[in-house]
Structure 1
Amino acid sequence: MDPEISILYCSPFPEGLPQRRVQAQLSPHYQRRRLPPPLEDQILLEWEERKRKQPWVFNGAKFRLHSVKADLNQREKINRENTLGEIGDHIRQEADMDEQGGLTLYLALTSYRDFLGTNWSGNAKALQERGGKEHGDPEAYLAQPLGVGAALQCSDGRFVLLRRSNRVGEAPGQLDIPGGHPEPKAVAPNIPEDELSLDVLKPELVITELFSSILAEIRDEVNLPLWSLSEPLLLGIARNHTSAGRPSAEFYVRCSFSSEEVRERYLQGGPEASESTDIMFIDREEMLSLETSELWKELCPSAKGCVKLYLLVREQQS
């Protein structure tokens, strides 16, 4: 597997997991552990310095993924045995036998500021080593904000890729999939963001936001109406090791427009058009061989994780 990514969870169903098979448990026990004062204070100082240099950046609440628990059926157990060597040693799943299958996400709150000060900092590796040594968990001191991404397939079978703007903070100029983050403030819109707490978040609404957020990202980045998009199906959760293993939930979504119609709508510009500079499409055959193509080198880690999960779930299991 590409060293930039690993797979934390892979759907046991070849179509992916629908929303009804995913649940959340929220607890302060799943928060990032605070560092000793000098190191924790450094995160705040670096954030203030960033704001001084880039006054347009703003802090925001995110969901922190602590771990996952999969209810494994026979099909997933076979797949897990076949892919465990690729996935790596830090997979954190507990096997439960349930014919229906499903997934539980253990979540807390974190922030964009803490992501920049931990996962995205130059000290990320040292923080992982410290977390492993002091708490038996390399992610104990990391923000681990949960992202979302989608393998978006047009009605003619082609998949959407976006060329990231050179002005974005991560992976500028690389190819990506539509994606972003589920937003805690969307779950409790009447609460000021700096007052958000786990007490005001309902687990079922958190899962609704997780699944609806990827549709909103597609709408805003590709300029597609929500009515043209299918129900998202969760392919799995991938880790981005260029940002210390940050997790992202990857979905499969179909669009009722052809690739040419999607291109036309993209060129009209959506609310987040500034995040990308171009759109391109690959057909299913190209998707199947993408890992061994030259194009793979142009993909950012989030796109690689989504493609890998698509191939593991919808192709190898079908």
Structure 2
Amino acid sequence: MEKAYLQFVPRGRGALSKILLLSSSIKLRMASTVCCKSTATEDPGTAFNLLLSCPSGLPPSRVSVDFGRSFDRIPHPDATLESSIKEIWDQRLQKNPSLYNGTKFRYGGFSLSDSSTVRTDCSVCLHLGLTDYRTFVGTNLNPLWEKFLVSSEDDTVKCQHMANPLGNGAIVETSDKKILVLRRSHNVGEFPGYYVFPGGHSEPQEIGISSHQTNTDSSDSAALNEVVSKEMFDGIIREVEEEIGVPSDSLTEPKFIGVSQRAMNVRPTAFFFVRCNLDSTKIRELYSKAQDGYESTHLFSVSMEELERMTQRMPGCHCGGVALYKMMKGHKQ
């Protein structure tokens, strides 16, 4: 597996933090550096890593999935630490009996393929297993989450004991060239009141997956991989529709731009770029009628300058989404 790994570390007020790309032979024309501003009072929850950047924006035809149990989480050998997963979940469940332990796709890394003669024919294969919300709460959101990590420069090895459900996020650009950002409500379990992009998770249940199949031949596996890959793109459109209230026919086909990881509890998120043919005024009108106030309370349509200021109050994985978007914009210029 080839490695594309970027890391953001907060620095002093007004300082520029350079993010160096560590990759020997990736041919996705990834940017070699990117700069981010931070402040002296930087929230540690805003720190991020970029695991993969595709600044040209990849369509569904150039993003595939290898789905299988080999990318599932490996239980931690420390029995006490492993048993804390149930304890943390039970504590959460007592406080909020409505919690639901749904299945999620687990991020297990990626591989790259490309034509040796045509540089733009590169494609990405995402490695996905299965996990669930209970294990996410018990590992990634565990106060002892760092103890689940393995000392390794390979992120898949480092995070092999983590649930690491793959979230998704959409950078939605309006017809008047604004970016859509939501403010999370105070009803949510993570980062209440923070700014985020519309998104959530691609759902295994949407395509009838509740567990790994057994005794499947290669043709069945290939067909299943195609279905899961399609859900990666269908899922992000569904999230934008549900969270913003815009109709799907107002949105362009999503372009995959990379995978960001929040440094705090190593939560990974796949980001997509989507254009909407409606302007900000119309979109705000639709949002006011569609949103139920549970996950978000406000919708903002902002310029790039305003978006960068919002990163001071964004979860790290979404700050990484901003970095991926900037890299895409720089690539197109």
Name the TM-score, length of structure 2 as normaliser: 0.78
Q: Deviations over 1:158-200 (max 9, x none)?
A: 1111111012111110111101000011121xx6x4xx22558
Map of 1:100 onto structure 2: 121
SS at match of 2:328: helix
2:111 counterpart (63, 69, 80): 69
- CA displacement at 1:71 relative to structure 2: 2.9
Question: Aligned partners of 2:96, 2:81: CA distance in 1, in Å?
Answer: 22
1:145 counterpart (151, 165, 175): 165
Distance 1:229 1:70, change over 3 A: same
1:183 aligns with 2:231: no
1:28 aligns with 2:69: yes
2:102 counterpart (54, 57, 60): 60
- CA displacement at 1:136 relative to structure 2: 8.9
SS at match of 1:248: strand
Map of 1:173 onto structure 2: 193
Question: Aligned partners of 1:72, 1:305: CA distance in 2, in Å?
Answer: 25
- CA displacement at 1:26 relative to structure 2: 1.8
Runs ≥4 residues deviating over 6 A = none
Q: Deviations over 1:207-227 (max 9, x none)?
A: 111111111111111111111
The percentage of aligned residue pairs carrying the same residue is 32
Question: Aligned partners of 1:257, 1:19: CA distance in 2, in Å?
Answer: 23
Question: Aligned partners of 1:154, 1:227: CA distance in 2, in Å?
Answer: 14
In structure 2, list runs of 5 or more residues that go unmatched. 1-7, 11-46
Map of 1:303 onto structure 2: 318
RMSD: 2.4
1:9 aligns with 2:52: yes
- CA displacement at 1:8 relative to structure 2: 0.7
- Amino acid in structure 2 at the alignment position of 1:42: S
Distance 1:163 1:124, change over 3 A: same
In structure 1, list runs of 5 or more residues that go unmatched. 75-95
Count of aligned pairs between the two proteins: 281
The structure richer in helix per residue is: 1
- CA displacement at 1:204 relative to structure 2: 0.5
Distance 1:98 1:28, change over 3 A: farther
Question: Aligned partners of 2:206, 2:254: CA distance in 1, in Å?
Answer: 18
Contact 2:67 / 2:228 at 8 angstroms: preserved in 1? no
| 1:1-318 superposed matches below 5 A | 1-3=8-10, 4-13=47-56, 16-36=57-77, 37-71=79-113, 100-129=121-150, 132=152, 137-188=157-208, 193=210, 196-199=211-214, 202-243=224-265, 245-270=266-291, 273-284=293-304, 286-287=306-307, 290=308, 293=309, 295-318=310-333
Q: Deviations over 1:133-174 (max 9, x none)?
A: 9x9921111011101001111111111111110121111101
Question: Aligned partners of 2:164, 2:295: CA distance in 1, in Å?
Answer: 22
- Amino acid in structure 1 at the alignment position of 2:228: V
- CA displacement at 1:39 relative to structure 2: 2.8
Contact 2:104 / 2:204 at 8 angstroms: preserved in 1? yes
